Amino acid sequence: MSDLSVWICPVCGELLTESENSLKCSKNHCFDKARSGYVNLLPVSRKHARLPGDNPEMVRARRDFLSKNYYQHLQNALCDAVRNYLPPDGVLLDAGCGEGYYTKKIRDSLPESCSVCGVDISKTAVDFSARQDKHTRYAVGSVFHLPVDDLSCDMLVSVFAPYAGTEFVRVLKPHAFLVMAIPSARHLWELKQAVYDNPYENQVKDYHLENFRFLEKISCEQKIFLDNSKDIQNLFQMTPYAYRTGASERERLQALQSLGVQTAFEILIYQKEA
């Protein structure tokens, strides 16, 4: 792991210097590392809840589902995309890293000369990331107020995370790269058919992003087979549908014992304009 640090103080914005057990800025604001190795850089004033972000139940569902490598095809495609564009000594930030399933694989696929950092607003998710990946620096923080220095990153990765254009532009170097993974229109279509009376396709927005030049789209599709109700429940819990599903639809979900379902992702590559 590179010694390069990109973290900034969430109080005053000064660059943080890392020691074995803490990070400190020139104005003596100090942030202790948790036992697992991450640092909490989310000020209380920016918390919209006591425990913002994904709750422990959601994190466990995603962790358990992804640990079975149902989405390994997306993981591998992301690693290939990163290696194609990241400089050999580059700094990569995973903004909205969750429990680190994609972050760790990306880190493991890169040379040691690269520096990889992950940020997520969920303390539960970041703690799990840090416990299972000692070669990446992790911090609790919001993608809309990244605790990351200006113009410090050669690449930013965003996997199903909120798009925070102003912050992404701020932390990326000139001509640096943005790699985004999004669900395409028919992602998990069979799951929707099984649960809802009137399923609808995902809305895929126009690829234009202000201050970025669109380079390419990589399609990543694969049908997966879930042979038990627990994996089906975990998959559903990972999706936005979990927030807005009624009792009758949940009964249908709980009745499912197996399911073949199409996964369909798009990896979008952008370059920051000068």
Structural domain spans, the chain = 44-272
pTM over 0.85: yes
CATH superfamily, domain 44-272, is: Vaccinia Virus protein VP39 (3.40.50.150)
Pure H helices in the chain: 56-66, 72-85, 101-109, 123-132, 165-171, 189-195, 229-238, 247-255
Tell me the per-residue pLDDT of 129-153, one tens digit each, with 9 for 90 and over. 999 999 999 999 999 999 999 999 9
Tell me the per-residue pLDDT of 26-75, one tens digit each, with 9 for 90 and over. 999 999 999 999 999 998 766 665 666 788 888 999 999 999 999 999 99
CB of 118 within 8 A of CB of 80?
no
